[in-house]
A = this chain, B = another copy of it.
Amino acid sequence: MAERVNIAVDAMGGDNAPGEIVKGAVDAVNGSPIVKVFLVGKEDLVRTELSKYTYDPDRIEVVNATEVIEMSEPPVMAVRTKKDSSLVKCMYMVKEGKCDALVTAGSTGAFLVGGQIIVGRIKGVERPPLAPFIPTTEGRCLLLDCGANVDARPSQLVQFAKIGSAYAKKACGIANPRVGIVNIGAEEEKGNALVKETFPLLKSTPEINFIGSVEARDIPYGAADVVVCEAFVGNVILKMYEGVGTALLKSVKEAMMSTGRSKIGALLAKPALKKELVKFDTDRYGGAPLLGCNGLLVKTHGSSKAISITNSINQCKLFAEQNINDDIREMFNISTDI
């Protein structure tokens, strides 16, 4: 087990930066003796936030960064020109080995670009997939790729399956994760050109436990532990998950507040509902990691609160402690000594 896990946190990323980011980092440090966080951002702002809390000063370091990449900036240009931005500095800290991982709630585009061109891919990985966990009635499943590489090729989907398998094994503690491919029917002959071409390749990949096609309808019921798809489809799955979930819960709430009778009902049912519905909170497992890079890069929602940052830092800690990148390297038959 690692003695210390060093994590760079983009203190300026997201709608609630730096307040919630700093709070989340402090909570993570106070929650685990092996976590060290580098808070990267405008030093004065970060220090002002930090002064509100008590923590082990040896395990939080502030790294000044004078620039911020805005959500609306064209990502490639932003990463190339804003060398002193909090996100780019975090990326370099991972690249140079000073940190094991990074967490940001900032621009997704800049995150994806920076991951590829600054931190870089594990040897053999063609395209790193974005791979969040999504909750299911049975627990959770890893969805990849959910937005990094649109129009991916079959060979890349096979890589996603291998990478996802390695990650789910240790992150979820599942010995032999069931890998499914998103399809519009259960039969092998169904699907679009990409799925039809990928299906036999997955079937003949001995490193994974391929269970065949998974229909989108069955994903929320835990039909597979690892769900592989092209990034456009993965993004649609993730966003539909959020959209339908929030719209439905909003309606449940509105219904419960609509009459005097239902209001009393709501009061009585609330504790049980809260306990059950926390299962569907997409943030509880941390953010979406970009897997297959030299280090773990985690993107959380732009609207992240402190708890999402803390969860994401804990996700990085687990990733480093369990040496998951060594397992991914092994999937690509690369010596872990490299």
A contact residues vs B (CB 8 Å cutoff)? 136-137, 147, 150-151, 182, 184, 191-193, 195, 215-221, 230-233, 235-252, 254-256, 258-259, 261-262, 264-273, 275-277, 279-280
Contact = CB atoms under 8 A, between A and B. Distances in A.
Contacts of A248: 220, 244-245, 248-249, 277, 280
A244 B267 contact: no
A253 B220 CA distance: 16
A136 B247 CA distance: 8
Please tell me how many copies of the chain the complex holds. 2
Given A240-B217, A249-B248, A262 B254 contact: no
Contacts of A241: 240, 244
A151 B252 CA distance: 37
A254 B232 contact: no
Given A184-B236, A255-B275, 18 more contacts: A137-B247, A150-B191, A151-B193, A217-B240, A217-B243, A218-B243, A232-B233, A233-B233, A233-B236, A236-B237, A248-B277, A248-B280, A252-B252, A255-B273, A256-B272, A258-B275, A262-B273, A265-B266
- Residue among A242, A243, A245, A270 with the highest chain B CB neighbour number at 10 A: A243
Given A276-B258, A280-B248, A232 B265 contact: no
B272 A269 contact: no
B216 A243 contact: yes
Given A240-B217, A267-B265, A191 B251 contact: no
A298 to B, nearest CB: 19
Contacts of A261: 268-269, 271-272
Contact of A273 (B217, B235, B256, B270): B256
A277 B258 contact: no
B243 A245 contact: no
6 contacts: A184-B231, A192-B230, A216-B237, A220-B247, A259-B272, A265-B272
Contacts of A267: 265
Nearest to A220: B247
Nearest to A147: B184
A216 B235 contact: yes
Contacts of A264: 265, 268
